[in-house]
Amino acid sequence: MMVAMICLIGSDSLVKLVSERLPLGEILAIRGAIMVALMLPVAWKLGYFRPLGLLTEKIFTIRIIGELIAVFFYFLALFRMPLADVNALIQFAPLATIMAAATLFGDPVGWRRWFAAVVGLVGVMLIIQPGGDGFTPYAFFVFGAVVGVAMRDIATREMDRSIPSFFIALVTGAAVAILGLALAPFETWSVPSGVDMLRLSIAGVFLLGAYLLMIMSVRMGELSVVAPFRFTKVIWAIIVGYMIWGHIPNPLAAVGFALVLGAGLYAFFRERKLEREKASIA
């Protein structure tokens, strides 16, 4: 899982570098096409294709829409904000998912997890620092990404578990590429340089590698042990952000990072504990 997070940060960093010359839609179209091209033979070899009729199912459509919202707003923020800040803010997504599930589906959520969500929200405010010298309104794009992630995760929870995860990723990659093409009329595209094409190609490889590693880690290891390593993505984002762009979180933002990550970890372990208690009763 930790290597998967390194791959994700590598992909995001390369995309952020390319964004200095190419618009969002073109980047999404090229990277998405590369990812799909890499995934097709793997999906064919492993027999992960499913009937296309699944694409018309409401819950599948909701998941794809949530993913597209998350990707669109995440990269809008990433292109204009430090890598570490965006990745720390997006860690609020699991807490938002818990709150959304409680509100929409009536899932029982105790005061401890509600309190963790409030603490996480305080951490978010410390990171974006409204009214401060370093405040950027682009930080609010991350909230759009958080909404998309929550929407995607809730829909995923309701999907048929027999649907291969790789198939879902393949369809999602294709949908992201189509989203990039849909943005073309609103952007000025140009022929990417060889260096930028190389960066996007490597970004696509990193993204595919991250996805495969996440699937392997979840299937081979205990979720309660593996999943918390997702939060190491923020640490790698801080390191890479400093090495490439010289970004260093200020003290308030650092406290915010700690609050968001701590609240997210607590909510995760609390949820896992409740699941084990329910399983033992059943």
Distances 148 to 68, 97, 253, 270, 277 between C-alpha atoms, Å = 7, 10, 24, 23, 30
CA atoms of 79 and 85, how far apart (whole Å): 12
Between 103 and 187, the more confident residue is 187
**What average pLDDT does the segment 69-78 reach?**
93
- For the chain, the domain total comes to 1
User: How far is it, in rounded angstroms, from Cα 264 to Cα 260?
Assistant: 6
Range 171-185 average pLDDT: 92
pLDDT, position 42? 78
Predicted confidence at residue 140, as pLDDT, reads 85
Report, as an integer, the average pLDDT of 14-38. 93
> Where does residue 47 fall: left (phi above 0), alpha (psi -120 to 50 degrees), or beta otherwise?
left
**Contact between 192 and 7 (Cβ < 8 Å):** no
* Residue 15 to residues 178, 201, 246, Cα–Cα distance (Å): 17, 10, 17
Distance CA 257, CA 86 (A): 11
For residue 273, pLDDT beyond 90: no
pLDDT at residue number 68: 93
On whether the CB atoms of residues 31 and 212 are closer than 8 A, the answer is no
Of 24-33, 49-58, 200-209, highest mean pLDDT: 24-33
The residue among 95 and 193 whose pLDDT is bigger is 193
User: Among 42-51, 124-133, 141-150, which stretch is predicted with the lowest mean pLDDT?
Assistant: 42-51
- d(CA 198, CA 120) in angstroms, rounded, equals 38
* d(C-alpha 255, C-alpha 276), whole Å: 32
**pLDDT for the residue 54:** 67
131: pLDDT strictly greater than 80:
no
Which residue range(s) make up the domain with 273?
2-281
The Cα–Cα gap between 243 and 158 comes to 41
| Residues sharing a CB contact under 8 Å with residue 117, sequence separation 6 or more, in sequence order | 95, 96, 98, 99, 263, 267
131 φ/ψ sector (left φ>0, alpha ψ -120 to 50, else beta)? left
Judged by average pLDDT, the poorest of 120-124, 152-156, 170-174, 260-264 is 152-156
* Average of per-residue pLDDT across 55-76: 87
**Residue 281 confidence (pLDDT) above 70:** no
pLDDT higher for 107 or 42? 42
Q: Running DSSP on this structure, what letter comes out for residue 132?
A: S
d(CA 172, CA 68): 8
pLDDT of residue 51: 62
What's the whole-number mean pLDDT along residues 67-75? 93
Tell me what the pLDDT averaged over the chain comes to.
82
Q: How far apart are CA 158 and CA 38, in angstroms?
A: 28
pLDDT band at 134, cuts 50/70/90?
Answer: low
DSSP conformation class of 27: H
Tell me the torsion sign for CA atoms 89, 90, 94, 96. Answer: positive
| pLDDT value of residue 39 | 85
Split at pLDDT 50, 70, 90, the class of 275 is low
